[in-house]
Amino acid sequence: MIRRRIFLLAAVGLVALVLLSTMPRAEAPVEDSRLSAENTQAPEPIEASETGDKVKAGCAITQTMMFSRCGHSVTRRIEAPSSVVGGDFETTQNYYDLWQIDSFSAAAIDMSREIDLFCPMHRVLGCNEAGEIVLSRNVYGDGMAIEQTYGGLSLEDFDEETQEALRLGLGFDTADDARAWLSAH
């Protein structure tokens, strides 16, 4: 019985390793900088007719996410997924329809996107659909995940100006800073 469990655990572990090894690899953020007047303007879009290149296997994609709520930007590097390998500029642009392709070649693609959120470095006090106060964080780069719900607090506990600020989300450097703000209000 114990051998079967050990064998089963080993098999599950092996399957998990195989699945993880087939996922696209993304490096940790390689840039975190404040947006300045120099780098807030997006490059001119590339026209499809300007390049006849086809995406090669192993093509390096550099994605720069600019977060308008805090002014930070994060850059990540990934390998082109198999669904765009062999595709041209237009195919790639259709696949990454939320992104602006800034440069395109068979071996390297740079793209950027402005996102109306706080970057992953911040904790955000806000509210959920029920009006409860929540602490969230941008875990994925393009969406917020709730880390904690303050069940005893709701929007109605605050004045109108603070309610509006919480609906939009208030950014903090740490969860402790957010809790201190809550205690003070």
Query: What are 131-165's pLDDT values in tens digits?
Result: 899 999 998 777 889 999 988 888 899 999 999 99
Per the CB < 8 A criterion, the answer to whether 75 and 31 are in contact is: yes
Helices and strands of the chain, counted as H and E runs: 4, 9
Q: In this predicted structure, which of 35-39, 40-44, 77-81, 153-157 has the lowest mean pLDDT?
A: 35-39
Distance CA 45, CA 104 (A): 11
Q: How confident is the model at residue 27, as a pLDDT? A: 37
Q: Could you tell me if 112 and 63 are in contact, meaning their C-beta atoms sit under 8 angstroms apart? A: yes
Give residue 64's Cα distance to chain centre: 10
The candidate with the shortest Cα–Cα distance to 157, out of 166, 148, 149, is 166
Domain regions of the chain by residue span: 25-115, 123-184
Radius of gyration of the chain from Cα atoms? 22
Residue in 76, 74, 95 with CA at minimum distance from that of residue 85: 95
Strand partners, 44: none
For the purposes of burial, counting CB atoms within 10 Å of the CB of 79, is it exposed (0-12), middle (13-18) or buried (19 or more)?
Answer: middle
Beta bridge partners of 62: 77, 110
Averaged pLDDT for residues 111-129: 93
Asked whether the predicted pLDDT for residue 24 surpasses 70, the reply is no
Q: CB burial class (10 A; 0-12, 13-18, 19+) of residue 2?
A: exposed
Position 124 pLDDT exceeds 90: yes
Strand, helix or coil for residue 139: coil
**Given a cut of 80, is residue 84 above it in pLDDT?**
yes
